[in-house]
């Protein structure tokens, strides 16, 4: 194993590879301790150094105690598994302000990438996942601006020519898939990157995009399409030792959307309704032990 190389995650950045000898020097100097996330070829995912058998010896002591609510989420983290629903803490006016900025940025087009990334950075720390404290978002505008601009422009194709709508739907599906993969890959916890990814195929995503557009003609069928789409997305989140699920039903999505659409016509309740609607969707996502959920 003398030629083994190691990677470490520190300050939200991946560092390495370090040859075995240099990596052992980092441990000896204390630059790598029991809490440092490490990875080497052959490991299923990132682990705290103190959890890698034989790596720290008696140097770093036992792994930290799991906080109330369960174990951490991520491939290779610990052995305990916390289950429970997501929740969100969304300050009313800050959240509504971002919603307004998102709409304005889509009209102006150019500011859209900056507003979207800023929104992700604001929203992610306010989502609570059992056993996974202090979520963060590390994505930057330079990585994704062209995808967001493309998504916004696709929304205008139907106004240019109705015949372009089908092209817009297909392009939106592909670009949304790219945005989703990028977003999942930039989630962190306690300042450390998480090995999370989205493994759903682009063709599956585009298929749901087309089905959702067609289902609008059924008046109510779109709610069930959206429900199955959310379940498909959750089922294809990789890099976690727990399974992410969506528990909402088509009927629940339908009646809440109807209530939302009716009440916002009163104008004044719009901020409260947007938060109510968003909080419900987030609360329907949960983490459970692998194989414990059948839908």
User: Average of pLDDT values for 149-175?
Assistant: 84
In terms of pLDDT, which residue wins out, 15 or 161?
15
What was the pLDDT predicted at 44?
65
Distance of alpha carbon 13 from alpha carbon 191, whole angstroms = 9
Domain extents in the chain: 5-51, 84-289
What was the pLDDT predicted at 180?
97
Closest Cα to residue 144, out of 184, 103, 102, 200? Answer: 184
In terms of pLDDT, which residue wins out, 259 or 293?
259
- Residue 174 predicted with pLDDT over 60: yes
What was the pLDDT predicted at 164?
74
In degrees, rounded to 5, the angle at the alpha carbon of residue 48 between the alpha carbons of residues 43 and 52 is 55
- Residue 61 predicted with pLDDT over 70: no
User: Average of pLDDT values for 71-82?
Assistant: 40
Q: Which of 41-55, 99-113, 122-136 has the highest mean pLDDT?
A: 99-113
Contacts of 185 (CB under 8 A, 6+ apart): 196, 197, 198
- Residue 37 predicted with pLDDT over 80: yes
Please give the C-alpha separations between residue 162 and each of 15, 34, 43, 155, 206, in angstroms, as whole numbers. 50, 59, 51, 12, 19
Handedness of CA 63, 68, 73, 79 (dihedral sign): positive
What was the pLDDT predicted at 130?
83
What was the pLDDT predicted at 67?
39
Closest Cα to residue 258, out of 212, 215, 219, 229? Answer: 219
- Residue 276 predicted with pLDDT over 60: yes
Two structure tokens written together for 131 = 């056993």
- Residue 9 predicted with pLDDT over 90: no
Mean pLDDT of the residues in the chain: 84
What was the pLDDT predicted at 12?
63
Closest Cα to residue 182, out of 168, 170, 196? Answer: 196
3-state class of 129 per DSSP? strand
What was the pLDDT predicted at 80?
42
In terms of pLDDT, which residue wins out, 291 or 104?
104
Out of 49-58, 86-95, 99-108, 110-119, least confident range: 49-58
Out of 131-135, 149-153, 229-233, 248-252, least confident range: 131-135
- Residue 68 predicted with pLDDT over 50: no
What was the pLDDT predicted at 17?
80
289 strand-pairing partners: 242
135-137 β-sheet, strand order: 135-137, 187-189, 192-193
């Amino acid at each position: 194993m003398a030629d083994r190389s190691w990677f470490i995650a520190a300050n939200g950045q991946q560092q390495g590879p370090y040859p075995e000898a240099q990596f052992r020097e980092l441990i000896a100097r204390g630059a790598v301790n029991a809490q440092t996330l490490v990875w080497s070829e052959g490991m299923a995912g990132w682990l705290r150094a103190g959890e890698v058998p034989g790596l720290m010896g008696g140097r770093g002591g036992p792994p930290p105690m799991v906080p109330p609510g369960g174990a951490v989420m991520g491939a290779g983290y610990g052995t305990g598994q916390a289950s429970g629903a997501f929740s969100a803490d969304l300050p009313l006016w800050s959240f509504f302000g971002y919603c307004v900025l998102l709409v304005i940025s889509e009209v102006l087009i150019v500011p859209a990438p900056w507003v979207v990334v800023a929104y992700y950075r604001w929203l992610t720390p306010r989502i609570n996942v059992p056993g996974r404290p202090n979520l963060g978002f590390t994505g930057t505008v330079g990585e994704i601006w062209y995808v967001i601009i493309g998504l916004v422009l696709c929304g205008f194709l139907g106004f240019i020519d109705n015949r372009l709508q089908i092209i817009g739907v297909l392009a939106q599906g592909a670009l949304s898939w790219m945005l989703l993969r990028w977003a999942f890959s930039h989630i962190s916890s306690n300042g450390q990157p998480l090995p999370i990814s989205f493994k759903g195929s682009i063709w599956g995503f585009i298929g749901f995009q087309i089905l959702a557009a067609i289902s609008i003609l059924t008046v109510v069928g779109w709610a069930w399409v959206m429900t199955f789409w959310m379940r498909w997305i959750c089922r294809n989140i990789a890099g976690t030792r727990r399974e992410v699920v969506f528990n909402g039903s088509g009927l629940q999505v339908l009646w809440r959307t109807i209530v939302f659409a009716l009440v916002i016509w009163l104008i004044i309740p719009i901020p409260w309704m947007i938060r109510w609607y968003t909080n419900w969707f987030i609360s329907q996502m949960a983490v459970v032990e692998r194989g414990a959920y059948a839908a």
